[in-house]
């Protein structure tokens, strides 16, 4: 069993938040063993801490939200996916604002910064959450199944009636090189017809054509990074949400799930698994 890890050097990034459109700053600092990944709100006078843990996740359709004692962290999923994808167990995430910067709409910026910061192995052993039986959650045609396995593998199917999108399937075992090269660069999905409706709700105010896979009436409105970029980003989001249960060994199979269903699965995994 490998030892726990943290980053070697502090790193910072400032940018616009996806939904609020506000300028925010994030600083990632090393953390001691067994501290886990946690946020510290530096914009608030009491500097409250919100752990990146399943206990504090709140169901949300358009992003993941963490909330503890009224203090919120919004859109942490891409950053959490990068940390999990690189196998980083402990980190202090100092956030000036309520929402994590969107960067380029993927996890690629976070991967590059974390790789630059370096990783160090700590003496304490990493505890891994393992399943003792299959677990599943569903919502109509949306489904997530978690099966016992030795490593975290994600198999995902995304379907949409738009002819440019159709049915996309991808499967990856989540390891650092695979995550960094095959999953991290994939950007979030946006249908052009929904953009104005989202902004009317106060969401997506910081978005633009470069930070999303935008689908218009006739097809994609920008250049794709992968032919199946949408399903790869769905896997990215799922890896970030699953990390709220800690290091996980499971084969997770998904069909058209979103953050709300991901949150339900994470809570079921946390209550029906063992840590070894």
DSSP 127: P
Question: Is the four-CA dihedral 264, 269, 270, 272 of positive or negative sign?
Answer: positive
User: Does an H or E element contain 14, and which?
Assistant: strand 11-16
Active-site option among 19, 78, 233, 259 = 259
DSSP one-letter string for 35-96:
--EEEEETTSTT--EEESSGGGEE--SSS-EEEETTEEEES-HHHHHHHHHTT--BEEEEEE
251 is catalytic: no
Residue pointed to by tokens 């980083």: 88
Closest by alpha carbon to 83, among 113, 58, 103? 113
Closest by alpha carbon to 243, among 82, 127, 117, 59? 82
The catalytic residue positions are 259
């Amino acid at each position: 069993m490998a030892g726990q890890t943290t980053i070697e050097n502090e790193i910072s990034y400032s940018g616009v938040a996806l939904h609020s459109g506000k300028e925010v700053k994030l600083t990632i600092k090393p953390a001691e063993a067994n501290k886990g990944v946690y946020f510290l709100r530096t914009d608030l006078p009491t500097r409250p801490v919100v752990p990146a843990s399943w206990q504090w996740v709140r169901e949300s359709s358009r992003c993941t939200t963490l909330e503890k004692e009224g203090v919120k962290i919004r859109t942490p999923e891409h950053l959490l996916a990068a940390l999990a994808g690189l196998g980083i167990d402990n980190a202090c995430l100092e956030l000036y604002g309520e929402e994590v910067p969107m960067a380029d709409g993927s996890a690629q910026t976070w991967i590059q910064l974390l790789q630059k910061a370096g990783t160090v192995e700590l003496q304490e052993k990493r505890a891994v959450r393992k399943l003792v039986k299959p677990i599943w959650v569903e919502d109509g045609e949306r489904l997530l199944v978690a099966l016992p396995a030795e490593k975290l593998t994600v198999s995902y199917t995304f379907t949409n009636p738009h002819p440019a999108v159709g049915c996309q399937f991808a499967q990856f075992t989540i390891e650092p090189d695979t995550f960094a090269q095959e999953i991290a660069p994939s950007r979030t999905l946006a249908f052009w017809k929904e953009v104005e409706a989202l902004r009317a709700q106060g969401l997506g105010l910081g978005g633009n054509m470069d930070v999303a896979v935008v689908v218009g009436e006739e097809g994609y409105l920008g250049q794709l990074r992968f032919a199946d970029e949408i399903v790869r980003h769905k896997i990215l989001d799922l890896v970030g949400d699953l990390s709220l249960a800690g290091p996980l060994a499971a084969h997770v199979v998904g069909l058209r799930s979103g953050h709300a269903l991901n949150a339900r699965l994470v809570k079921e995994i946390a209550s029906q698994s063992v840590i070894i």
